Amino acid sequence: MVMSKMKTPIPIVQDDLKNLHNVLLDLMSEVDRICRIHHIDYMMVGGTLLGAVRHGGFIPWDDDADLGMSRSDYERFRYICQTELNHNKFFLQDNTLDPYYRWGYARLRRKNSEFIRIGQEHMKMKTGIFIDIYPHDNVPDYYFFRVIHAISCFFIRKTLYAQTGIVTGTTVIKRLAYRLLNLIPPTFLFRQLDNIAKRYNGRKTKLVRTLTFPIPRGGRFGFPAEWFVETIDMTFENKTFRTMREYDEYLKFKYGDYMTLPAENKRHWHPASVMRFPND
């Protein structure tokens, strides 16, 4: 039974953030390099796309980077990384590559570095500064099946999170609930996740989503699939990356009035207890 307490977040200064952004940019560039060589469609999503449009690069206080691709493109990307990835600097991580990894999407990590978020110090997965890579899966079209699909994804996401939740839970009841969920073997959860993805990815549906990532409030079951069909080049930190052609609709859907800066007390980053930059 894990008895860890949450550690105190390390303070992050501007120089650290700049160094972190440089490593994230290096990780993004490696994905871009592989995808362009092998004609794999990928796109900046989430806060990374928001930063590209609003700031021309990273959101100044952001500490991560988000890329997305269809499930079929991700499977190709994962296979090609076996030989094409620069293994001297990077490693790809998902539940098939790291038995202790508990998230339902992938990460590309920088070797010889550390970035451990608060509440995850006790986890056994490999660590390192990372970017998230989100596979996009189809969502069923009929309302009844969408509800079942959403409930299933929610349960799997929360159960995979349980190993962190037993430390970060804000109440005794929540921590106890996460301890119970943590008894469910992750191999069972990932098998169910694969079954859900395969059930609908063979057909054309109106919506897509990352199965283990929350949909924006009001989004209900997913994003319109048509937004993810065509990609374009976009400048990010004076480099060129790919994103969806329908980026304006996506950003409005996810963030509302996305060009307006949030109040300073709402400019959050992910608190970390360990951060170390590569020296090679």
Residue 2 confidence (pLDDT): 47
DSSP conformation letters of the chain: -----PPPPPP--HHHHHHHHHHHHHHHHHHHHHHHHTT---EE-HHHHHHHHHHSSS-TT----EEEEEHHHHHHHHHHHHHHS-TTTEEEE-TTT-TT---SSEEEEETT-EEEETT-TT--S---SEEEEEEEEEE-SSHHHHHHHHHHHHHHHHHHHHHHHHHH-SSHHHHHHHHHHTTS-HHHHHHHHHHHHHHHHTS--SEEE-TTSPPPTT-TT-EEGGGGS-EEEEEETTEEEEEETTHHHHHHHHHSSTTSPPPGGG-----EEEEE----
Q: Is residue 186 part of a domain?
A: yes
pLDDT computed for residue 202 by the predictor: 82
The domain containing residue 64 runs over which residues?
14-257+271-276
Residue 125 in domain:
yes
Predicted pLDDT of residue 216: 83
Domain membership of residue 7 (yes or no) is no
Residue 251 belongs to a domain? yes
Residue 5 counted as domain residue: no
Residue 174 lies in a domain: yes
Query: How many domains are contained in the chain?
Result: 1
- Residue 3: per-residue pLDDT: 46
Predicted TM-score (pTM) of this structure = 0.94
pLDDT value of residue 4: 52
Tell me, what's the pLDDT at 106? 98
Strands 66-70 and 43-44: antiparallel
Weakly modelled stretches of the chain, pLDDT under 70: 1-6
Q: Which residues pair with 91 in a beta bridge?
A: 109
**pLDDT recorded at residue 5:** 61
Q: What is residue 236's predicted lDDT score, i.e. its pLDDT?
A: 98
- Could you read off the pLDDT of 121-145 as tens digits, one per residue? 999 999 999 999 999 999 999 999 9
Give a yes or no: residue 76 inside a domain.
Answer: yes
At 106-117, the pLDDT tens digits run 999 999 999 999
CA nearest neighbour of 59 among 262, 280, 275: 262
Asked, for residue 29, whether it belongs to a domain, the answer is yes
